[in-house]
Amino acid sequence: MLKKIKVKDVRLGMYIQEVCGSWMQHPFWKRSFKLTDEKDLNTLKNCGVDEIWIDTSLGLGVSADVKTLSKKGEELKVESELKKIDKTPQKTTALVSLQTELFAAKKIHTNAKKAVVSIFKDVRMGNALQLDGAVSLVNEIIQSIARNSSALICLSRLKNADDYTYLHSIAVCVLMVALGRQLGLKDAELQQAGIAGLLHDIGKIFIPDEVLNKPGKLTDEEFNIVKMHPLKGWEFLKESSEVHDFILDVCRHHHERMDGMGYPDKLSGEALTVFARMGAVCDVYDAITSNRSYKQGWEPAESIRKMAEWKNGHFDEVIFHAFVKTVGIYPTGTLLKLKSGRLGVVTDQSKKSLTKPIVKVFFSTRSIAQIVQEIIDLSKSQDSITNIENPLQWGFDLNEIMGV
């Protein structure tokens, strides 16, 4: 049976059916869950939410001295609505292999670049922002991610210095959509997350090219100029009635940090919305894995490891954990050495284990020779990972091996 109670009366062992209020007001990305962790209990009691619904059939009930806030009629109404939701057929998208989805993903990625270049060009010329094309594009990206998230994520890593800003925007869009699906976003919210990714760096249009594309290290003065791009982008986007608050929020706050050491507003903790926290993770991951004229990008697995070291001060812990589930501890494109002596590149994530991805083996380190390529799901294999390898040291073009 459902009961609405005050948050102060919550106990470990209760099943939280729903946290009252907008999901943007609290840090829990799951709609329903059993409360078993003391840390989650403390977070719930201090996040600013006053009331919750619990399901006493799935967890502890209320003690005799606790006053429930709902009337019988309201409980029945909520239960009825939940039953409707549970019975409503959900549209499902058939999963496909990486190679199958790459055909569609390549076309989407090409169209995405044209769309972003067009949007940025129009803004430079002083034209009004037109989002019709962006909405259609994001819907295609959502469908591709649903079929196989690895395809577009893999393609999004292919960048050149001249088009970095455009391709970075596409990559963050793809990562925002993939992360949003992991967090349970649906329909309009997922679409807004993707558009926010596309437009998060639009403020860079207003930064001088000689500063933005400088091949060497920026001076303090130049860095301060670059740090103005979130605010400049926000000032531009807020003039458009088509731009949702979620998009404005990501544009302005994707460089903020949980510890308040980011910019431009030095927001911290609960002052940062879920969308801003998502944007921060996606933006950093793509930036540090990208090759630039002045630095070589880190390998995907190394990037995840380094971000994990920063997460306490830099990223929201729940969002970062969801991001790792999205791209994997060994993301697509990671070169691995296996116990058998074979080298394999990660092509997809296993549904059973984050530490046992699906790899394409292609080389033997024992015979120092190419071998017949084979797809192996390490969650079902006796073979295991012994090391992460640098493809540059081996001289391999992993994109060619993956068919990208």
Alpha helices in 125-186 (DSSP H): 132-147, 149-155, 164-183
Predicted confidence at residue 213, as pLDDT, reads 83
Q: What is the pLDDT of residues 305-348, one digit of tens each?
A: 999 888 568 999 889 999 999 999 999 889 999 999 999 999 98
What is the percentage of the chain residues whose pLDDT exceeds 90? 51
Predicted confidence at residue 70, as pLDDT, reads 63
Per-range mean pLDDT, top range of 4-8, 231-235, 306-310? 231-235
**Mean pLDDT (whole number) for 5-22:** 83
Predicted confidence at residue 88, as pLDDT, reads 39
Residue 374's DSSP bridge partners are 361
Mean pLDDT of the chain: 86
Distance spanning both ends of the chain, measured CA to CA:
52
Domain residue ranges in the chain: 2-87, 98-327, 335-402
- Integer-rounded Cα Rg, in Å, for the chain is 23
Q: What is the pLDDT of residues 94-134, one digit of tens each?
A: 788 888 899 899 999 999 999 999 999 998 888 888 888 88
Place of tokens 């544009």: 251
CA separation for the pair 279, 273 (Å, rounded)? 10
Kindly report the backbone phi and psi dihedral angles of residue 395, in degrees, each rounded to the nearest multiple of 5, phi listed first: 75, 25
State CA 371 to chain mean position distance: 35
Kindly report the backbone phi and psi dihedral angles of residue 5, in degrees, each rounded to the nearest multiple of 5, phi listed first: -135, 165
Query: Up-side HSE of residue 227: CA atoms within 13 Å toward CB?
Result: 15
- 218 burial (CB, 10 Å; 0-12 / 13-18 / 19+) is middle
Q: Which two tokens stand for residue 201?
A: 């760096």
Max Cα separation, the chain?
Answer: 73
Tell whether domain 98-327 is in CATH 1.10.10.60: no
Q: What is the pLDDT of residues 57-103, one digit of tens each?
A: 888 888 777 777 765 555 554 455 444 434 334 455 678 888 889 98
Q: What is the pLDDT of residues 355-397, one digit of tens each?
A: 899 999 999 999 999 999 999 999 999 999 999 998 888 998 8
